[in-house]
Structure 1
Amino acid sequence: MVDDLESGKLPWRECRWCLQIIFETILENYAEYIDYNGITTQSDYGQNLYMLLDFLRQAGFYQRTAWNLRPIFLAHEVLMQRDERPMAAAWEVAVRERTRIITQDLLAGYRMLSLKYGIHLPSLYDLFRAGFSRQLVEHDLMWLAKRALTAENPKDRRDAVNDIVRLVEKLLDEISGFHYRMADWIEALEETIHHTREKLDVFDEETEIEYLRPRMHRLTSRELLRQLESWQRH
């Protein structure tokens, strides 16, 4: 680009536009850039940045597809919130089947780039391998976390905790290497536990205040007259 700019082959305005796109892409995918910069030897040479951009092009396709599937994700979240687990599970299977070919194409594209450049980026590989049902798994985790904290039956709470442990172990086994960015499902689980505990604390405070508040008794007109007569006599 610099050579073309100096020779006049590339206009400065077009060069500025290209640089802006590159910088914005890196900033929007900074976690992947950190992985690339910290794991690969190709990152030692600035002219190899185009390799990362090719991988990020794949990531962009994934993100656009996930955005188009957002209504489907929201429907699954509503089913989980309404405790419709069997229907939500069937919905998850349908999503996985519907996006199976797209997921295979993403993985094939990643492997082709990995062989071409000799680069392995665990964060992107795990993202593509998980497909588009990972967000549905996050909904499962959030539902289980709320149930583990709020269920009245101790057995239900224990069952929810056991389900969380099994699901987390499965998700951890799917992590192929070091990631700069924390997995989305870990952040979702932590945030759900935090918010649920906050709500429980507020509920406990309101319950305590209600318990300490004096009980009010509504008097009938006859009772009121009787008390007034009693006060007058005293």
Structure 2
Amino acid sequence: SRLGRNPMLYVPLDHGGEPGQVLRTQSLQSVVRFLLRELPRLGLLRETWHLLYTAFRMERKWRPQGQAITEFDRLFEIALRSNSTHNWASDDVETEELIDSIGRVLDPYQWLWSEHSRTMRISAVDGMRREEEWGELAEFIRTYGADLFHASQLTLGHVRAILHNGVDWFLDYLEEEQDPLHPIKLLEDLDAGLVDREQAEWCLDQVYTIIVDRFDRFLEYNTTTTQSDYGEMLFCLLEFLRLEARYDRDAWNLTPLTLVHNALVRHGQTDAADIWEATFEMQTTDIADQHLQDLQRLQRLYGMRMPTITDHLNERFVKPLDVNRILALVKQSVLDARSGVEHSESFEKLQEEVNDYLKDSWGSGVDVPQWLRQMEREVGEASRTKFVGRPTAEAELELPQVLISRDDFHQQAKIWRNSLGPNVERKPRKRKKPDEE
């Protein structure tokens, strides 16, 4: 209860945050991360979940004014990954029992992740879910995009400047600087009262925000399609981005399952990981097929392809599991290379996994794929010496591991969501009589 009285969110300094509050909140977050990482090592699996749930409620209860930074995604990953690995009390656990145990731990985490996801906007496009709003925006682009959304007018610096100063300022600027010989249709319709200025500002803000948020996709659109030569066709790109946002939303909801798979492969639980992956693929087949059908429909409708988005949807939610297997092999491969091992079994397996992954992953060649960036970070982490440079903000204390019995685990799972403290009923206070006061 004491922990819950403190804020877990802060406004960064570049958005007007207070330095003292930022320091206090980040210090508290560091303590929570340490506890989430170490409590499972002590066998306190249930307590770990309750700490995470407390952090979730703290973020909902104490919301500062302004653009706050949330840490819940990171806290969730630490807690679930720790629970998924440290509840295995011995090496003789059967695969089926291991899967069952992880499933029992996962259920409350899955519920908490769903609660968190309800208020999360994954990207700027993710906010464009209502068909009515999308119809208005698409019509605005068709009508006024030729003057406003040509590729030459959508450089990253130019769009950021518009958003920084405000769309209202931008419209005033256009009115002052427009060429009488080349009138801008939007300004003419605003003067004639044919379009509401507030609605126009909303549409412009949506378009510019989406472009900045997904500029990598806009860059691919601009270099690989002929539609990008016409500003009024920009809605084609947004249609593809809306489809990708729906896919990302579904993938986001599956995050707890992919985290568990990651923990399994990193701890050498190959059989359990294979079963988990097969079950995962079976559960996601129908929804993955639907996304690909929607993609084919858009490709036929607009006569264009977006290679990176196509690759993304062709992952069918299971490609990240392939990446998990690749990343799990990196550390041992690096250690073998540093030790001078000529024929590294881990590296040979890593090559096989990468080659299999690349069989149906093409990309656009415009940007480095995300999985390759992850692999680069993994190599950097594995290559780093243990004691080098300045100390980090994270405590490097590692508590001794306490293994729990099956009975202890099942008892924790049975009362998982029950309150940790004693259920003490408060007796109502008796009011004193006037003659006693």
What is the aligned partner in structure 2 of residue 181 from structure 1?
Answer: 367
CA RMSD of aligned residues (A): 2.3
What is the aligned partner in structure 1 of residue 233 from structure 2?
Answer: 48
SS of 1:132's equivalent in the other structure is coil
One-letter amino acid of the structure 1 residue matched with residue 301 of structure 2: K
Count of aligned positions: 202
* 2:207 maps to 1:22: yes
Pick one of 214, 222, 242 that aligns with 1:57: 242
1:92–1:136 Cα contact (<8 Å) kept: yes
What is the aligned partner in structure 1 of residue 379 from structure 2?
Answer: 193
CA distance in 2, matches of 1:81, 1:166: 17
CA distance in 2, matches of 1:34, 1:170: 28
2:281–2:318 Cα contact (<8 Å) kept: yes
What is the aligned partner in structure 1 of residue 285 from structure 2?
Answer: 100
2:322–2:357 Cα contact (<8 Å) kept: no
* 2:298 maps to 1:113: yes
One-letter amino acid of the structure 1 residue matched with residue 229 of structure 2: D
Change (3 A) 1:187 1:5: same
CA distance in 2, matches of 1:76, 1:153: 31
Deviation at 1:21, TM superposition (A): 1.3
What is the aligned partner in structure 2 of residue 34 from structure 1?
Answer: 219
Cα shift readout 1:173-199 (whole Å, capped 9, x = no counterpart): 21335232211211111110111110x
Deviates more, 1:24-33 or 1:118-127: 24-33
Deviation at 1:6, TM superposition (A): 4.6
One-letter amino acid of the structure 1 residue matched with residue 366 of structure 2: Y
Pick one of 298, 316, 319 that aligns with 1:131: 316
Pick one of 192, 202, 205 that aligns with 2:386: 202
> For the pair shown, which has the larger CA radius of gyration, 1 or 2?
1
CA distance in 2, matches of 1:64, 1:39: 26
Cα shift readout 1:31-89 (whole Å, capped 9, x = no counterpart): 11111100001100111000000000001101111111111111112212322121112
Q: What TM-score, normalized by structure 1, do the two folds share?
A: 0.79
Change (3 A) 1:132 1:5: farther
What is the aligned partner in structure 1 of residue 327 from structure 2?
Answer: 142
What is the aligned partner in structure 1 of residue 402 from structure 2?
Answer: none
Change (3 A) 1:27 1:149: same
One-letter amino acid of the structure 2 residue matched with residue 190 of structure 1: E
Runs of at least 5 residues in structure 2 that lack an aligned partner in the other structure? 1-139, 141-185, 390-437
What is the aligned partner in structure 2 of residue 231 from structure 1?
Answer: none
CA distance in 2, matches of 1:82, 1:164: 16
Deviation at 1:9, TM superposition (A): 3.2
One-letter amino acid of the structure 2 residue matched with residue 15 of structure 1: A
Q: Percent identity?
A: 26
SS of 2:293's equivalent in the other structure is helix
CA distance in 1, matches of 2:265, 2:363: 31
2:363–2:369 Cα contact (<8 Å) kept: no
After TM superposition, list the pairs within 5 Å mapping 1:211-222 onto structure 2. Answer: none
Higher RCO structure (Cα 8 Å, ≥6 apart):
2
One-letter amino acid of the structure 2 residue matched with residue 8 of structure 1: G
One-letter amino acid of the structure 1 residue matched with residue 386 of structure 2: V
Structure with greater helix share of residues: 1
What is the aligned partner in structure 2 of residue 75 from structure 1?
Answer: 260
Runs of at least 5 residues in structure 1 that lack an aligned partner in the other structure? 206-234
SS of 1:83's equivalent in the other structure is coil
* 2:86 maps to 1:86: no
Deviation at 1:153, TM superposition (A): 11
Change (3 A) 1:204 1:130: same
1:122–1:178 Cα contact (<8 Å) kept: yes
CA distance in 2, matches of 1:64, 1:204: 39
2:333–2:346 Cα contact (<8 Å) kept: yes
Deviation at 1:7, TM superposition (A): 3.9
* 2:315 maps to 1:162: no
Deviation at 1:95, TM superposition (A): 1.5
Cα shift readout 1:158-215 (whole Å, capped 9, x = no counterpart): 22111111121122221335232211211111110111110xx23699xxxxxxxxxx
1:122–1:179 Cα contact (<8 Å) kept: no
Q: What TM-score, normalized by structure 2, do the two folds share?
A: 0.43
